[in-house]
């Protein structure tokens, strides 16, 4: 029916009182809130250390959250780090999340973007707001980035996620399906004041055979991407049989070592004892906060073995789960 009060040629108006999709409070400390603005701010370059390996979004502005009266769900999301461990703290430790739309699904369906590690950063730049203007999404801590990925998946496709499990017993290796409830099965640990360390974290030299204090920092999303690229490059160039991941991660996350000049840090690492490497490795790998991605599938239907598995987060994670008997 034509609106008699509308000026000819003007676009139809969205009725703010019209009922729309209802967003229930999501898991991981998420709360419903107002829709995101029609135009999201584009983050500028970050002053934090470490290279930013992904170029800024160049394929147009994010799509509006309201089209033809249909609103994509949005929520406020509390970060596991509480936003406290960044050079510019995130206000209230919260960001805004918008559910994925057609543009984001097209990004997920573009293999070349995954090869270049650009797909998920592009999605974050469209669907995540509330970061300080000087901060790029690649400078999110890995723990915060993983929690946002799980929350975006739940917000966009629902909490049910079907996975294929393989029994780890070699004599069995039975494959069977298991449905994970992201809201109930995955727990998020927050960085409360009682377990908040100071970063860079100092490892007392008395714990190490080298008797030198070592300062380490947390891993960022940019670190993750650079680690994979440097590892693959090292394996290709040197035709190496030994995985260099540990060495690269130490080089990334060790800020400095007492009485060791920066230019001598890399060769000094080569002289560290296995004892010291093990201590440093355990410190940088500690999970003080973040989403727990360990799942506990039912026992193997073939051999009865009980075990735990790690939930893999990749492009296949972002798919809707059809009901067992879909009504088509």
The pTM for the full model equals 0.76
Q: Give the pLDDT confidence score for residue 23 in this predicted structure.
A: 38
68: phi then psi, degrees, rounded to nearest 5: 55, 35
Q: Give the pLDDT confidence score for residue 69 in this predicted structure.
A: 59
Residue range 234-281, pLDDT digits in tens: 888 867 788 999 999 999 999 999 999 999 999 999 999 999 999 999
Distance, in Å, from the CA atom of 175 to the CA atom of 274, rounded to the nearest integer, reads: 38
Distance, in Å, from the CA atom of 233 to the CA atom of 248, rounded to the nearest integer, reads: 12
Distance, in Å, from the CA atom of 61 to the CA atom of 42, rounded to the nearest integer, reads: 9
Q: Give the pLDDT confidence score for residue 187 in this predicted structure.
A: 93
Q: Which residues are paired to 161 by β-bridges?
A: 180
Beta-carbon-side half-sphere exposure of residue 262 (alpha carbons within 13 Å): 2
Distance, in Å, from the CA atom of 235 to the CA atom of 232, rounded to the nearest integer, reads: 5
Q: Give the pLDDT confidence score for residue 197 in this predicted structure.
A: 72
Cβ within 8 Å of residue 308, ≥6 positions away: 294, 295, 296, 297
| Whole-Å CA distances, 272 to 267, 269, 282, 286, 326 | 9, 5, 15, 20, 58
Cβ–Cβ < 8 Å for 177, 309: no
Long-range CB pairs of 13-22, under 8 A, 24+ apart, other chains included = 14/66, 14/69, 15/69, 18/69, 20/69, 20/70, 20/71, 21/70, 21/71, 21/73
Q: Give the pLDDT confidence score for residue 242 in this predicted structure.
A: 87
Residues (pLDDT < 50) of the chain are 1-4, 6-61, 63
Q: Give the pLDDT confidence score for residue 222 in this predicted structure.
A: 97
């Amino acid at each position: 029916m034509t609106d008699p009060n509308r000026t000819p040629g003007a676009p139809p108006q969205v009725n703010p009182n019209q009922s729309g999709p209802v967003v229930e409070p999501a898991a991981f400390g998420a709360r419903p809130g107002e829709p995101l603005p029609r135009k999201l701010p584009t983050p500028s370059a970050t002053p934090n250390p470490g290279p930013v390996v992904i170029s800024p979004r160049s394929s147009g502005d994010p799509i509006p959250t309201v089209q033809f009266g249909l609103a994509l769900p949005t929520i406020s999301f509390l970060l596991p780090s509480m936003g406290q461990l960044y050079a510019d703290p995130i206000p209230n430790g919260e960001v805004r999340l918008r559910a994925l739309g057609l543009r984001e699904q097209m990004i997920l369906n573009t293999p070349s973007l995954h090869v270049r590690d650009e797909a998920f950063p592009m999605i974050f730049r469209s669907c995540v707001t509330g970061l300080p203007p000087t901060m790029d999404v690649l400078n999110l801590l890995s723990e915060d980035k993983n929690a946002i990925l799980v929350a975006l998946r739940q917000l966009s496709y629902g909490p049910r996620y079907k996975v294929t499990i393989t029994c780890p017993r070699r004599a069995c290796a039975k494959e069977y399906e298991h449905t994970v409830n992201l809201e109930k099965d995955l727990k998020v640990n927050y960085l409360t004041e009682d377990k908040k360390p100071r970063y860079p974290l100092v490892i007392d030299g008395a714990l190490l055979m080298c008797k030198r204090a070592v300062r380490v920092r947390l891993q960022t999303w940019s670190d993750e991407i650079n680690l994979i690229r440097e590892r693959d490059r090292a394996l290709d160039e040197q035709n190496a049989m030994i995985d260099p991941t540990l060495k690269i991660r130490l080089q990334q996350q060790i800020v400095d070592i007492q009485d060791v000049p920066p230019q001598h840090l890399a060769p000094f690492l080569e002289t560290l004892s296995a004892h010291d490497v093990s201590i440093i490795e355990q410190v940088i790998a500690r999970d003080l906060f973040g989403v727990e991605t360990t799942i506990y599938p039912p026992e193997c239907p073939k051999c009865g073995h009980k075990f735990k598995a790690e939930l893999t987060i990749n492009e296949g994670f972002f798919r809707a789960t059809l009901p067992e008997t879909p009504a088509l």
